[in-house]
Structure 1
């Protein structure tokens, strides 16, 4: 089939492209290769995924005319929409960047799907939509009406926008709420990368909420497995569904939302210890209060995703940290 993968130079996007090209699909990737973090890493990812079945187009999804032309020219079967302005803390400092990419850009992708009858749109949501929820594990049947960052609010908006298009135009859409993805070729603004770099450089690492935090760390290999499998599970209408009795993750429209995570959160200090053990270095630590936009715990209930796809995460934190540290040391010659 012919896929569009947005955010193709990104952490998850490049890994998804690699998997889809290996399976024989034709892939068009788009990315604006912005400088939110080191563009050299993005170019290195693109170099790694060069393939006869893959073409990259430099494009900003917030550019309405460019996205419209892209869909008209290419006629995609499926779209995996992973492009977004990422980062919880960055959204506090630069809110307008999130409106451009995560709201306008998402709308442009939805319009492209509508105009060209795309058979399935899979898009990235986020575990951050659970916001102030205290009940764990987080389930897609839970309310997600109290985000604690603008980034989270844009991701909840993406789900609502997708539902409206599924309802109005019968476009099958599936949202995936990602839980703390890590692994080789990962983002430099995320904790695993920051901790590893600072420990190797002899710098001090900041431990938020005095270490009393839990994250459902999910390795990139498991994430990609889930994304690729869910692309084959195209949502259909459910005429029996009602707002009063149905799950908010499904609908009478061809719409679905799933968590995609490991399903076994680990304490932040335990994760730091795994990195320390792999590096053979004890980190210098500064303990501080909870930071704006942070949440105490993330914990994915992935039962519905397993039922739909057979997806079951396999990479343990110990294995995942070892894989990431090995990549980091080789890539940065540390």
Structure 2
């Protein structure tokens, strides 16, 4: 099987296409994967659609991000490829399979609604990585709390005041235990500087966005997580680790229709026992197994084999 992964260039899009593509490859022997990054600008996108390579034509195209819609459907027309879209597409029935969040409220025979998002990790992967990751964070005392920080988006504001509040609450609650803190591109320079100052010290590890990102190693060694509520990907990946996960809610923007989608997602995690709202305390509790990526891979392969049988 030959798979093309098409994404819009963002790290979150790329993580989802790679996660699903690798999960399918693990189930299907002799799979070759090619990654194609699509420009978000119109003309490069249309040029790619008109000049897709004939060599190594794909059996399956997995796309994520609005900029990847046109090139993915062009590959379907030109190469007769089976097309998969991750997240909610503009027109669901244009694709052979759609994997999107339950919070998107999309249904159909070709649609698999999942909790959260697909990704590149599973609990077993992180267990195997833990030994090597322990060496990286040997100076950070246990139990270790991973604090995964996002930033403002279409739905939420994340102000310097919010950052100071989160930092103060986490430090007070953690006490003498260690903290593994990571910011993202959306955090911004001003907010990153606030966290850099707040979490300075030998018993904490702070990733400011420069250099090699130890994100996966943090997932492997953390005993619990606090994650800002703006990121479906980070929350999904923390839950995949199978450790207590807490959602730090951000302030909804004054006029916003997309915040409701995030709140539905948060409640799905909470109602199914995968996460709890942050209430300035750490509780001892066990999270059920969370591996929506495996379920998505099984769904796509089943749809693909049915599609092949129809000719």
Normalising TM by the smaller chain, what interval? 0.3 to 0.5
Q: Which structure has the bigger radius of gyration?
A: 2
TM-score normalized with structure 2 length: 0.37
TM-score normalized with structure 1 length: 0.35
